[in-house]
Chains A and B, each alone.
Chain A
Amino acid sequence: MVALFAVFGMLAASCGDDSDAPSSSASSSASSSAESSSDPEAALSGSLMITGSSTVEPVTNLLAEAFSELHPDVAFSVSGPGSGDGHKAACAGEVPIWNSSRQIKDKEVACLEEKGIEFIEFRVGIDGISAITSIENDAVECLNFADLYSLVGVEATGFSKWSDANSLNAEIGGTGPFPEGDLEIFAPGEESGTFDSFIEIALEDVWEERAEAGEADANYAVRPDYNASANDNVIIDGIAGNKYSLGWVGFAFADEARDEVKLLEVDGGDGCVAPSPATIADASFPIARFLYTYVDVAQADDPAVKGFIEFMLSDEGQKYVVDAGYVNLADSDLAQGRDSWANKTTGKTF
């Protein structure tokens, strides 16, 4: 215990050096200081708590890191529990800025409205979701949405081999038949924005049609018997370790692991397209989603919040979207975000 406190004392001494300046805020969320500086070069202080999507978190981390080099007095706390958690924290008034890997849902808007919280919406980048299999799987190159549904949709519950899906696949217009291999599925858990987006983009149309026809469960789009993980590296490991695996992760993770997993081409109706930064940016790769950041408009004039958002929307800030493994927005989307910020346009704008 004595040693512990001795070590601690040393650390206390070493990081208490700059303690003379009184901080304007030590609260857990951003707080306005009375005099808001209009000079962007002036050093800012205050504290910023940002939460929400774990997919957007790396972008925010990079932005915060660069921003705090310019403004070392701003305290940051960035976390990424999930998009839904971000909207929940916003509704509880806990954070001035929050991220989401999908657009805010109507019930989340309703929650904010109830609390009198108005928000500004930005798109910050685009994430392609990659359908992946093991690098050793040479039987599959390209899947369409019907194929994906017949393998991971709710009607695929219990299919333990790719070939089990053949009759369903033929019925709904897939490209089968598939090989005999053991079908092992690794994908994000339900709490993940990647899970939601994959369903929304790749499965929902086929699933809804099947549910209306009374063939599929109307409550769940995805088979429950798959290996769910919140950790993308666990998914990658699972995919890499099983020859006939199938799963999906964000493009950034799949792209990093190209020596272990195979990024499948996807046919969204206009032929097979391989995921790449170019095909995701021009929207030709069909499984891609926009990443969003939201700001509580009541705190938009807080110098730290203002400085950070303006940094995010700047050309320099947009570079970090690419650094995080995502793809930059089309110019029109970025311009729209800048307009919303300049005019304090609240509500869903995309």
Chain B
Amino acid sequence: MAIVSNPARLAEQHAASLSRKPGSDIPGQVFKGVLISVTGLAVAFLAVLVGVMVVDGWSVLSERLGDFLSRGFSQRSAAEAGVWQGIIGTLQIAIATTVFAVPIGVATAIYLVEYADNNRFSRLVELNVRNLAGVPSIVYGLLGLAVFVKSLSGFTQGKTIFAGGMTLAAMVLPIVVITSVEALKAVPQGVREAAYGVGATKWEVVARQVLPASFSTILTGTVLSLARALGEAAPLILVGAATGFISFGDANFLETFTGPFTALPVLIFNFARQPGEDWSANAAAASVVILVLILMINGTAIYLRNRFEKKW
């Protein structure tokens, strides 16, 4: 009899001889089940949250979405209230936060990864930054009030978008630093060595090789941290966001940066504390608006990452 030697069959036989009886990997199966149900739970929470918001806000979203987006604050009736000042404020805060947080955060990361020696000081800085990322936002609000509103009032003009943006910038700075550090560390050492090998200076290595290579990851981290900042209400209320009626008067767009301001989360806070169902609907609708805005920002981050991503 010829010995049938078929690699696939051999492998099968081998596997059969190794594997235990079906159902013997009980801990593994249980663990898998737990993981699936936990994941399902997380998704379910999100779905319920979004679902409740959309259902509660449906009367506003379906009947007067354009009106809701284009009108300003109104106390007179829930049906006249809109969120455009909140949208403007949130976008202005996004700009101010980006302008303050990104250069400082990325520069810190470049220093830590490319320039700093691995000494006690740089380890202390890195440890410090990681701890700062866990500080509650309200604490940054207090910092903002004491430093940006009071001490630096000559620069920020007191309770303004600048003060709010700088406060949120301080809040997301650790996240920007950490994600940028990780992005820079992910650039293979070979890239640097090759550049040095052809005679590049340190500046040329960092500016022309390492930074462009890590650009997409840094960008993603930055935009995601921005999305977190834009959802904050508590620090903004502390640094003087208007929780009530707001109008910009005859200030032009640039002047509104140093005038009164509000933001979407602050408006949601305001809507939610008004008595009556109509206001609750407004709060839910405004929550949907901020969710969509943040999803748009995250979507942009994903697009940019895919666009600029460099595979090694």
Report A's interface with B, CB cutoff 8 A.
1-4, 7-8, 11-12, 15-16, 18-19, 21, 23, 26-28, 45-47, 49-50, 54, 57-58, 60-62, 64-65, 68, 72-81, 94, 231-233, 236, 252-253, 256-257, 323-325
Q: How many A-B residue pairs have CB under 8 A?
A: 147
Query: Which A residues are in CB contact (< 8 Å) with B304?
Result: 1-2
**A57-B243, A80-B244 given as contacts; is B272 within 8 A of A233 (CB)?**
yes
**A4-B297, A47-B260, A65-B245 given as contacts; is B91 within 8 A of A23 (CB)?**
no
Q: Is B74 an interface residue (CB 8 A)?
A: yes
B74:A76 contact, CB within 8 angstroms? no
Q: Tell me the bound Cα distance from A178 to B94 in angstroms.
A: 56
Interchain nearest-CB distance for B230 vs A (Å): 10
What 7 A-B pairs come out closest when comparing CB atoms? A77-B260, A19-B252, A75-B249, A78-B244, A61-B75, A73-B250, A256-B275
B253:A46 contact, CB within 8 angstroms? no
A1:B253 contact, CB within 8 angstroms? no
Smallest CB-CB separation from B150: which chain A residue? A92
Residues of chain B in range 227-267 having any CB-CB distance to chain A below 8 Å = 237, 240-253, 255, 258-261
**A1-B300, A28-B159 given as contacts; is B241 within 8 A of A79 (CB)?**
yes
Q: How many residues of B contact A (CB 8 A)?
A: 46
Q: Tell me the bound Cα distance from A147 to B98 in angstroms.
A: 57
Smallest CB-CB separation from A230: which chain B residue? B273
A11:B88 contact, CB within 8 angstroms? yes
Q: Tell me the bound Cα distance from A256 to B275 in angstroms.
A: 6
B252:A23 contact, CB within 8 angstroms? yes
Known: A15-B253, A75-B248. 19 other contacts (CB 8 A): A1-B300, A1-B304, A3-B300, A15-B248, A16-B252, A57-B244, A58-B75, A58-B274, A64-B244, A68-B247, A74-B247, A76-B242, A77-B242, A78-B243, A79-B240, A79-B241, A80-B243, A252-B275, A325-B275
A23:B255 contact, CB within 8 angstroms? yes
B247:A76 contact, CB within 8 angstroms? yes
Pairs across A and B, CB under 8 Å, 16 listed: A1-B300, A4-B300, A11-B91, A15-B88, A19-B252, A26-B251, A26-B258, A28-B158, A28-B258, A28-B260, A49-B159, A58-B75, A75-B247, A78-B242, A78-B245, A233-B272
Interface centre among A12, A60, A79 (most CB of B within 10 A): A79
B88:A1 contact, CB within 8 angstroms? no
- Choose among B158, B241, B249 the residue that contacts A23 (Cβ–Cβ < 8 A): B249
Q: Tell me the bound Cα distance from A252 to B304 in angstroms.
A: 50
Q: Is B209 an interface residue (CB 8 A)?
A: no
B296:A3 contact, CB within 8 angstroms? yes
Q: Tell me the bound Cα distance from A253 to B279 in angstroms.
A: 13
Q: Is B190 an interface residue (CB 8 A)?
A: no
Q: Tell me the bound Cα distance from A145 to B146 in angstroms.
A: 42
Q: Tell me the bound Cα distance from A233 to B165 in angstroms.
A: 30
Query: Which A residues are in CB contact (< 8 Å) with B260?
Result: 28, 47, 49, 75-77
